[in-house]
Amino acid sequence: MVISEKDAKQAIKEIVADSISVKQKLIEQQSGIILDISKAIADTFSKGGTVYLFGNGGSAADAQHVAAEFVGRFARERRALPAEALTTNTSILTAIGNDYDFSEVFSRQVKAKVHPIDIVVGISTSGKSKNVINGLRSAKEIGAKTIGFTGAEPALMGEFSDICLCVPSKSTPRIQESHIMVWHMVSEIVERSIFE
């Protein structure tokens, strides 16, 4: 092992402490935003709308994770809720990326699937992902509600998101950890709102 056991243990403690600190700041600053996101999604599901999610890399994985929580279940047995990650169909992604441009891989799908009753969620830790911003822009043009998940600097994400969760950090790992924590909160609040 290149790093000593003592240094590795210290690094682990520092990483956990940093993660906890970011999450505490997030909850202090954005509990209202988390509640707004939960209410919007519960309202959309109650009216028969669908939640569409997308992002790149780890954010693509988060989009798929969250869609699975809604379609499957989070904490209770209940009916399936309509959610879809626009990151999973490799034929669509590669065709759009090849025939148009990679910056259009989400916006083209949004134009094909989304209706004004729906919610579109863009996830980008940097807030600068062109394809995520273009997807949100297309959703706003359709009249769908848009939600952004990003870091401390929302950049254009804030402009094209009706509700924007901004994790108070510039560290990609801390932002990603916070995003999935918030999604678990949202999933639980949505289930309670609709099924209790």
- Determine the structural domain holding residue 42 and report its residue range: 5-195
> What single DSSP character describes residue 90?
H
Res 145: pLDDT: 98
Res 100: pLDDT: 97
Whole-angstrom Cα distance, residue 116 to residue 113?
Answer: 10
Which helix or strand (DSSP H or E) is residue 187 part of?
A: helix 172-195
Res 154: pLDDT: 85
CATH number at residue 136: 3.40.50.10490
Does the pLDDT at position 4 exceed 70?
A: yes
Count how many domains the chain has.
1
Q: How confident is the model over 140-161, as a mean pLDDT?
A: 94
Q: How confident is the model over 96-101, as a mean pLDDT?
A: 97
Could you give the percent of the chain with pLDDT greater than 90? 93
Q: Are the C-beta atoms of 166 and 150 separated by less than 8 Å? A: yes
Q: How confident is the model over 159-173, as a mean pLDDT?
A: 96
How would residue 186 be classed by pLDDT, with cut points 50, 70 and 90? Answer: very high
Averaged pLDDT score across all residues of the chain? 96
Does the pLDDT at position 94 exceed 90?
A: yes
Whole-angstrom Cα distance, residue 156 to residue 116?
Answer: 21
Q: How confident is the model over 82-105, as a mean pLDDT?
A: 97
Q: How confident is the model over 164-190, as a mean pLDDT?
A: 97
Residue bearing tokens 């969620």: 121
Altogether, the residues listed in the chain come to a count of 196
Does the pLDDT at position 190 exceed 80?
A: yes
Does the pLDDT at position 174 exceed 90?
A: yes
Does the pLDDT at position 1 exceed 70?
A: no
Res 3: pLDDT: 86
Rounded to whole angstroms, the maximal C-alpha distance in the chain is 56
Q: What does the radius of gyration of the chain's CA atoms come to, in whole angstroms? A: 17
Q: Report H helices in 72-142.
A: 90-99, 107-113, 130-142
Whole-angstrom Cα distance, residue 125 to residue 170?
Answer: 8
Q: Are the C-beta atoms of 110 and 52 separated by less than 8 Å? A: yes
Q: How confident is the model over 161-166, as a mean pLDDT?
A: 98
Does the pLDDT at position 165 exceed 80?
A: yes
How would residue 160 be classed by pLDDT, with cut points 50, 70 and 90? Answer: very high
The amino acid that residue 52 corresponds to is Y
Residues with Cβ within 8 Å of residue 60, at least 6 apart in sequence: 54, 85, 87
